[in-house]
Amino acid sequence: MSDNDLDGVAPPWFEKTRAIINCELDRILPGQNDYPETIHRAMRYAVFSGGKRLRPILCLEAGRFFGRDDEGLLRVCIAFELVHAASLIHDDLPALDACEVRRGKPSCHEVFGEAVAILAGDALLVLAFEALAGNTVISEVLRLRLVQELAHAIGTRGGMVAGEIADIETPTPTVSRASIQFINLAKTAALIRTALRAGARYAGAEERDISVLDAYGQNVGLAFQIADDLLDVAGAPETLHNTTCSDAFRRKATYPDVYGIGEARDIATQFVISACRLLKPYGERASRLIQLAEYAIAGVCHI
């Protein structure tokens, strides 16, 4: 999904929060004239060529949910966007999804070449850990925990890399319900859950509340990836479907393949309903998180 697909359906407060996240990203990223310039320009291009900022906004709202809203929290949030930006650069590479366009613009490797794009992805990934580990507002024990959880969310044991490799290796005609669920849990939901947990942990939430946000995040993440797949097959004409980058052209295993478009839409809606139900006991306090869950599938499903 590009930010443009969902701009019109975002909650009213979303844009302001996105601007706050963008300021922090701008602060943490090396300047484009800093030596070596090429890699810094590529990193900035990948981060600032659009993007909804869903993961850092979820992290921020999780922190706010438990009463914290400060600079230290913002610095935790942006680590999730840096990882996400890295994942998109690598996901678009010719060896993976071979997408020449990202968010309506030439993808990073198209502008800077493959070698620079690979390194820019690596650099964004390590910058995320540098930002987390160097966040001196947080106790060392908590920092270590956040670093470990983020690494796990990206890794090969149910994390993003596990999802990306399964995505590459799963042949479309034989994809099972279990494998598509694994792919979506790992490649997309793992980072989203972890962003929520990080915001909650930063704010000092109790373990049982952290588990609720984790479960909410898993449902939102699963719904979000189905919505992304649905946009690919049935998005607006200006989005990427019917191009050489589409899931169908690349014979990607997706929820719409396995369940059909109608059922995939229903399942995504059910995931969002489940996410919102988990927050019911918190009442009005959860309204922004509920809006974010609905936003994750806005444009492709109706609740």
88 binds, among Mg ion, ligand IPE, none (CB under 5 to 8 A by kind): ligand IPE
Q: Does 97 bind Mg ion (CB under 5 A)?
A: yes
Whole-number minimum distance, CB 219 to Mg ion, in Å?
19
Q: Is 18 one of the binding residues for ligand IPE (CB under 6 A)?
A: no
| 5 versus 228: smaller Cβ distance to Mg ion | 228
97 binds ligand IPE (CB under 6 A): yes
Closest approach, Cβ 284 to ligand IPE, in A, equals: 27
Instruction: Show contacts with ligand IPE in window 166-195 (CB under 6 A).
Output: 187-188
Q: What is the 3-state secondary structure (H, E, C) of the chain?
A: CCHHHHHHHCCCCHHHHHHHHHHHHHHHCCCCCCCCHHHHHHHHHHHHCCCCCHHHHHHHHHHHHCCCCCHHHHHHHHHHHHHHHHHHHHHHCCCCCCCCEECCEECHHHHHCHHHHHHHHHHHHHHHHHHHHCCCCCCHHHHHHHHHHHHHHHCCCCCHHHHHHHHHHCCHHHCCHHHHHHHHHHHHHHHHHHHHHHHHHHCCCCHHHHHHHHHHHHHHHHHHHHHHHHHHHHCCCCCCCCCCCCCCCCCCCCHHHHHCHHHHHHHHHHHHHHHHHHHHHHHHHHHHHHHHHHHCCCCCCCC
CB closer to ligand IPE out of 105 and 277: 105
Nearest approach, Cβ of residue 258 and ligand IPE (Å)? 14
Query: By CB under 5 A, is residue 5 in contact with Mg ion?
Result: no
Smallest gap from Cβ 73 to ligand IPE, in A, equals 20
- Binding-site size for ligand IPE (CB under 6 A) equals 19
Please state the closest distance from residue 168 (CB atom) to Mg ion, in A: 8
Site string for Mg ion, 218-247 (x = CB under 5 A): ----------x-------------------
The contact set with ligand IPE (CB under 6 A) reads 1-3, 50-52, 54, 87-88, 91, 97, 99, 103, 160, 164, 187-188, 225, 228
The contact set with Mg ion (CB under 5 A) reads 91, 97, 228
